[in-house]
């Protein structure tokens, strides 16, 4: 079941409505004390802060409300303060506020036990952490985390046998995989290297998603002075994940017989154990429980850049733009997550309308990593989004010249060239791209539709878009291309049949509605044609399309500005 911030904070529908009107006032209450505000007023301000992703302010407001509230509501408010502190990343404060007692919510009590266990583990108090994790095992939200962390607490407490006793996590295959992976790490920590190797090889034999077990086994072998054996493991993994940069770097390191990665500490491995279920929760849209796990992981190891990246993603979804941007800034230039984080940061500014800052961030990433293709592609995408097509094409020129031909880069440059009127260059890129990927529906549709719209090579173009539709039969844009091809060849009834289908799939597309209007007119359904053209005007058409449609509403397709019908080629027999 999906768990949202409203569920974690107990946000009632009425309170949600009230909170929406409080706005930025919540931050003022949190920072200046808010004067003589009632507990209920503090509660509402706290809810507004939580709903706006301002977890630190929410925690402060709920804590103040709990201190002055009546006994029958103070437990509830204390629970809100605890959850908000945890989501804000203040794990020490959350541990201190962890709910307890008969009046506290059971789920929050168990989450509090998980938090307190993580704090104890971070302070090398393994026995206490172990007891806390046992208290957290009952809740669905905390069971996986507690089970994954218990072996590390046992190791910290000096119980080597218990540390390598793999937990069984029912109904959670992803968590179970990482429990097996952790067992290998803990065998190595206990200097039981043969058992560690056996554990890793067992996972590799079962498929090893992401080459995680291969990387762990290889690193352990390198630390044991077995660089050639490690390289063989990396080579085996590269057969399944060709050109994986992490595996290639690991192989090069192993073959050099120097610079073996250090064995991770218990805290570092425990942090990694929490990131795996958090990633799964993000995929399941369980953002707040995921954020809680990520905050706990980062309290154990603040250098886990993949966790910061996920924190940024969660906060972005929840509307906390400053928090998301701060998270995306955490990975440094040498981090494998640096480029990805900066690209997300750039798009955060772009989507917020700050185009200049978006380009600044993207250009800095390209300057720092000039050979990184994804950094260059993102810069080109941002320039294209700003309609700076010439600049986008120049970036792509460099990327295309620097490596083997990539159909995606050719496709993007074709878009830029078409938008700037350089159709010959765009056509050449599309034809090159199709030689690399002849059955890609997007490429087939792009080139075929443009030929149709330009009145060129109509029979060949119609065959191309028909193939595109066969490959992607639910694409309204491609079915529109097919219908428009029939229209341009004068087969108006076939045009109507296909364009009616296209408009049901793309009802808000002004071009599709315009095409259907034209087809209706040609088959004598002039009232329906005028309806479709009128609808185009309500769909934010381009200035050019707006002027064209206004002319047709005035004079129909008999007017002086009516689009010409190309019928100098015979439609193929269908």
The pair of structure tokens assigned to 377 is 């592609």
Distances (CA, A) of 189 to 106, 166, 274: 35, 14, 18
Full pLDDT tens readout for the chain, 574 residues? 333 344 444 433 323 333 333 334 444 444 444 455 666 566 666 666 666 666 667 666 666 665 655 555 666 777 778 888 898 898 998 998 898 877 788 889 999 999 999 999 999 999 999 999 999 988 888 999 999 999 999 999 999 999 999 888 878 888 899 999 999 999 999 999 999 999 999 999 999 998 999 999 999 999 999 999 999 999 999 999 888 889 999 999 999 998 899 999 999 999 999 998 899 888 888 888 999 999 999 999 999 999 999 999 999 998 889 999 999 999 999 998 999 999 999 999 999 999 999 999 999 999 999 999 999 999 999 999 999 999 999 999 999 999 878 999 999 999 999 999 999 999 999 999 999 999 999 999 999 999 999 999 999 999 999 999 999 999 999 999 999 999 999 999 999 999 999 999 999 999 999 999 999 999 999 999 999 999 999 999 999 999 999 999 999 997 544 444 554 443 332 2
**Per-domain residue ranges of the chain:** 5-163, 173-263, 464-558
Top-level class of domain 173-263:
mainly alpha
3-class secondary structure per residue, 477-502: HHHHHHHHHHHHCCCHHHHHHHHHHH
* Longest Cα separation, the chain: 89
Distances (CA, A) of 298 to 93, 290, 514: 15, 12, 53
Instruction: Label residues 320-340 b or e (16+ Cβ within 10 Å = b).
Output: beebbbebbebbeeebebbbb
5-163 matches 173-263 in fold: yes
The pair of structure tokens assigned to 504 is 């049901």
The CATH classification of domain 464-558, taken from the options 3.90.1010.10, 1.25.40.10, 1.20.1250.20, 3.20.20.150: 1.25.40.10
Q: Tell me if the domain spanning 5-163 has CATH number 1.25.40.
A: yes
Closest by Cα among 157, 164, 181 to 277: 181
Contacts for 414-417: CB closer than 8 Å, 24+ residues apart: 414/446, 415/384, 415/389, 416/380, 416/384, 416/389, 416/390, 416/392, 417/389, 417/393
3-class secondary structure per residue, 338-380: HHHHHHHHHHHHHHCCCHHHHHHHHHHHHHHCCCCHHHHHHHH
Distance separating alpha carbons of residues 96 and 34, to the nearest angstrom:
24
């Amino acid at each position: 079941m999906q768990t949202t911030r409203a569920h974690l904070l107990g946000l009632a529908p009425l309170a949600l409505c009230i909170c929406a009107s409080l706005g930025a006032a919540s931050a003022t209450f949190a920072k200046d004390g808010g004067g003589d505000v009632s507990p209920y007023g503090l509660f509402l301000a706290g809810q507004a802060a939580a709903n706006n992703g301002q977890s630190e302010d929410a925690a402060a407001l709920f804590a103040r409300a709990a201190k002055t509230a009546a006994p029958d509501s103070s437990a509830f408010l204390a629970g809100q303060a605890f959850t908000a502190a945890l989501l804000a990343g203040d794990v020490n404060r959350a541990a201190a506020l962890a709910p307890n007692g008969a009046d506290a919510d059971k789920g929050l009590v168990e989450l509090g036990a998980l938090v307190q266990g993580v704090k104890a583990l971070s302070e090398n108090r393994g026995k206490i952490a172990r007891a806390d994790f046992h208290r957290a095992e009952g809740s669905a939200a905390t069971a996986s985390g507690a089970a994954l962390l218990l072996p590390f607490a046992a190791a910290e407490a000096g119980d080597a046998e218990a540390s390598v006793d793999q937990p069984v996590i029912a109904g959670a295959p992803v968590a179970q995989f990482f429990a097996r992976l952790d067992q290998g790490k803990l065998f190595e920590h206990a200097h039981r290297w043969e058992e560690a190797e056996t554990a890793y090889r067992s996972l590799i034999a079962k498929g090893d998603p992401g080459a995680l077990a291969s990387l762990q086994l290889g690193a352990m072998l390198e630390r044991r002075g077995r660089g050639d054996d490690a390289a063989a493991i990396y080579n085996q993994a590269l057969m399944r994940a060709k050109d994986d940069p992490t595996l290639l770097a690991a192989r090069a390191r192993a073959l050099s017989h120097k610079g073996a990665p250090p064995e991770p500490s218990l805290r570092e491995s425990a942090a990694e154990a929490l990131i795996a279920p958090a990633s799964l929760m993000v995929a399941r849209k369980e953002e707040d429980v995921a954020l809680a796990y990520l905050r706990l992981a980062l309290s154990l190891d603040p250098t886990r850049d993949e966790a910061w990246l996920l924190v940024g993603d969660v906060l972005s979804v929840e509307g906390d733009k400053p928090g998301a941007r701060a998270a995306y800034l955490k990975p440094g230039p040498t981090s494998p997550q640096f480029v990805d984080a900066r690209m997300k940061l750039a798009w955060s500014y772009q989507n917020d309308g700050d185009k200049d800052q978006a380009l600044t961030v993207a250009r800095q990433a390209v300057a720092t990593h000039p050979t990184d293709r994804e950094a260059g592609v993102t810069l080109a995408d941002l320039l294209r989004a700003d309609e700076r097509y010439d600049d986008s094409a120049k970036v792509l020129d460099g990327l295309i010249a620097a490596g083997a031909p990539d159909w995606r880069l050719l496709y993007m440059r074709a878009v830029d060239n078409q938008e700037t009127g350089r159709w010959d260059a765009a056509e050449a890129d599309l034809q090159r791209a199709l030689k690399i990927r002849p059955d890609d529906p997007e490429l087939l549709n792009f080139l075929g539709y443009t030929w149709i719209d330009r009145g060129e090579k109509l029979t060949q173009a119609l065959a191309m878009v028909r193939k595109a539709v066969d490959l992607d039969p639910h694409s309204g844009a491609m079915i529109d291309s097919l219908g428009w091809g029939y229209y341009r060849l004068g087969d108006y009834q076939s045009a109507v049949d296909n364009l009616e289908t296209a408009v049901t799939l793309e009802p808000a597309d002004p071009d599709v509605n315009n095409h259907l209007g034209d087809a209706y007119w040609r088959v004598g359904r002039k009232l329906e044609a005028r309806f479709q053209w009128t609808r185009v005007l309500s769909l934010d058409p381009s200035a050019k399309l707006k002027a064209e449609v206004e002319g047709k509403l005035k004079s129909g397709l008999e007017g002086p500005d009516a689009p010409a019908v190309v019928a100098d080629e015979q439609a193929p027999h269908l």
